[in-house]
Amino acid sequence: MIYFYFLPKQKEWYVLPLYIAMFSFISAALDAVYHQMGLLVYFHWNPFLRFLAALGWFSLATVHYRKLYPAGI
């Protein structure tokens, strides 16, 4: 919900990709921290792959959100 609440509405070409990349990096960093604390237990995988998965997830979520609410909320 925080992601969608702060979703930028600027029309500059670099704002949205930078926002998505920032949230993907934060997601990958939190995943690594939670894993080291023992809160997330899974087979080890590359954090870069977690970043790419989050990048895809946030990109698709943004496309879906913008089609669902074209004028914004």
5-18 per-position pLDDT tens digit = 999 988 899 999 99
pTM (two decimals):
0.84
Nearest to 23 by CA among 55, 45, 48: 55
39-48 per-position pLDDT tens digit = 887 777 788 8
Token couple for 64: 């879906």
